[in-house]
Structure 1
Amino acid sequence: MKKTSHTDINSTTGRRNKYEIWAQILDLCSREPSHLSRILQKIRLKTSLCKEYLLFLLERNLLETIEKENDRGISYQTTLRGKEALNEFFNLITKFFTPKKKFSRSSI
């Protein structure tokens, strides 16, 4: 059975809500520290909105910044608290919103 990634959970409408975007950022930055440009590329957000979401996650200690001497710029990494939040989010979504049984229109 294929293990579902945190980034596999998206709205059925194609538009993501802020919770899904936060989860995608946390998931991406939990795999490896990521620069703003990588986050923008992978998550596909406008720069201003991405910065707003990064600040939100940083203020809640779900992300942390990393500055390396041999690297330009700041990288973002998911904290232990952020990983716990991501797992809780994923568990809630899969528990309550994973299709288990198909209903016909006549049974509703």
Structure 2
Amino acid sequence: MVLLPMSQLVLHFWSDEDCVKILAQCKKAIPSREEGGKIIIIEIVVGPSLGPIMFEAQHLMDMLMMVNSKGRQRDENEWSKLFTKAGFTDYKIVKKLGARCVIEVYP
């Protein structure tokens, strides 16, 4: 099995277009899913499930990021679209660590 580890909280600093480019390059570097290929990503997944205070904090962070970088916070649907555009076939959120999630993405 080959794992291509990605540092946590990297993709949220990039635009959707740049994330697709980064993910597509990662996909090229790993074997097929049948051969054990996957990418493990630790990122923030915005959503109301953590309660209204955390949800508001996530949106405030999103506004800060729009001012300081091209990135933003994304919900699960937005992450799914990025993975699909980059050529991945499946993903699963393995563990939630507060606002952060461990996401496995499969070619």
Instruction: Please tell me the TM-score bracket, short chain as reference.
Output: 0.3 to 0.5
* Larger strand proportion of the pair: 2
* Larger helix proportion of the pair: 1
Task: Find the structure with the greater CA-based Rg.
Answer: 1
| Higher-RCO chain (CA-CA 8 Å, sequence separation at least 6) | 2
